[in-house]
């Protein structure tokens, strides 16, 4: 099965079957039937987003609140990122638990992030192209976040945050526990 469980309920790594030959490669990056039947993921993705960034750009930790919460399927088309999530589901036994993994154009791994997680990533390669599907539309009025240098979470971003490029908005999000 191409789905690898993490130690956080509902958070799954997807490792697609990649078929390569002298022409290049082919793989199915998303198939609703496969996701539904093999992982129990039954979502209706309604929005695709793509971002290009250079080394040290840190985006996150973002989430949408209330009825605008989003599940995401994230991957890297080119380059390499450290992808980080935080379980912010207050009724979850893993509330406050973090998970991180390397996503790259080379490993083609994808992370399925259910609703109820804050999400962010930092670019570890010279550049990276990041792509993700969302099951709900973006709403500026419902955007929220947790500061990436949150002392309670003690996240290891694999780079010196003093040298990271972080949006002022992301630097000013509250810490975990003060975020909702």
Which residues are the active-site residues?
Answer: 62, 132
Largest Cα separation within the chain, whole Å, is: 53
- The number of CA neighbours under 13 Å toward the Cβ of 179 is 30
Residue 102: CB atoms within 10 A of its CB come to: 14
Q: CB–CB of 112/71 below 8 Å?
A: yes
The strands making up 3-5's β-sheet, listed across from edge to edge, are 3-5, 12-14, 110-113, 72-78, 127-134, 47-54
Which residues are CB-contacts of 149 (< 8 A; sequence separation ≥ 6)?
Answer: 155, 161, 171
Q: Look at residue 104 and give its three-state secondary structure.
A: strand
Lookup result for tokens 């002022």: 168
- φ, ψ of residue 39 in degrees (nearest 5): -130, -5
Preceding peptide of 61 cis, ω within 30°: yes
């Amino acid at each position: 099965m191409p789905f690898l469980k993490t130690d956080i309920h509902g958070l799954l790594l997807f490792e697609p079957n990649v078929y390569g030959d002298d022409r290049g490669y082919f793989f199915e990056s998303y198939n609703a039937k496969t996701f539904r039947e093999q992982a129990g993921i039954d979502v209706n993705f309604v929005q695709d987003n793509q971002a290009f960034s250079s080394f040290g750009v840190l985006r996150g930790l973002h989430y949408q609140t209330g009825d605008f919460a989003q599940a995401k399927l994230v991957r890297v088309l080119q380059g390499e990122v450290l992808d980080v999530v935080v379980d912010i589901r207050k009724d979850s036994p893993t509330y406050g638990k973090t998970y991180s993994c390397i996503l790259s154009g080379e490993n083609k791994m994808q992370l399925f992030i259910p609703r109820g997680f804050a999400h962010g990533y930092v670019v570890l390669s010279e550049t990276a192209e990041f792509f993700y599907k969302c099951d709900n539309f973006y709403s500026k009025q419902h955007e929220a976040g947790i500061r990436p240098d949150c002392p309670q979470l003690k996240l290891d971003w694999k780079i010196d945050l003093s040298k990271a490029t972080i949006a002022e908005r992301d630097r000013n999000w509250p810490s975990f526990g003060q975020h909702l």
